[in-house]
Amino acid sequence: MKFNLEIRNIQSSKRIILRFLCTYPRSFGHVDAIMDTGAPITILSANDALRLKMPFSNFPSTKPIKGFGRGGTPALSLHDFQLTLHSTDNERKNLKFPIVLVDIPTLRKFGEDALNNALTIPTLIGLDFLETNNLKLFIDIKNNIAYLED
């Protein structure tokens, strides 16, 4: 199966976007995530976690997310995140894999500045997503072509 990706200009830089449907129980909705081949893990942003009404109290704490400003951003571990991809021939592929999400309840205790900083972190698809789901990533930036292949 082939899954098209979108190449967008975001803040004067090209970004590769994976659009998926979150199907985690009671947390349905579309998410536009940045494919980040420099990220080892997949991160669900604070904005997307809030919009999807993720049940933060159900998840254990994990190592803070690093690389976004000073220090680390508190994080939670979700071992069975669920999403659906739509292929170019209109088939669906359901995936279940571990991700990290921004720990909004803890950030609120740190104050508004900490929360506002975390709200700038986008949802990122890391290399773990490709490896765990046995997907191949193809990119032709010059011709604006990018896709995943099963």
Per the model's pLDDT, the better-predicted residue between 10 and 70 turns out to be 10
Q: Where residue 75 falls among pLDDT bands split at 50, 70, 90?
A: very high
Looking at residue 11, its pLDDT comes to 87
Looking at residue 147, its pLDDT comes to 98
How would DSSP label each residue in 20-77?
Answer: EEEEETTEEEEEEEEE-TT-SS-EE-HHHHHHTT--GGGS-EEEEEESSSSSEEEEEE
Type of residue at 33: A
Q: Where residue 120 falls among pLDDT bands split at 50, 70, 90?
A: confident
pLDDT at position 70 over 70: no
**Dihedral of CA 48/131/72/64: which sign?**
positive
Looking at residue 103, its pLDDT comes to 93
Range of weakest confidence among 4-13, 40-49, 106-115: 106-115
DSSP 124: E
**pLDDT cut 70: percent of the chain above it:** 98
Q: What is the pLDDT of residues 26-61, one digit of tens each?
A: 899 999 999 999 999 999 999 999 999 999 999 999
83 and 131 in contact (C-beta within 8 Å)?
no
**pLDDT cut 90: percent of the chain above it:** 79
Q: How far apart are CA 10 and CA 8, in angstroms?
A: 6
Contacts of 112 (CB under 8 A, 6+ apart): none
Q: How far apart are CA 60 and CA 79, in angstroms?
A: 10
Instruction: Tell me the pLDDT of the chain averaged across its residues.
Output: 93
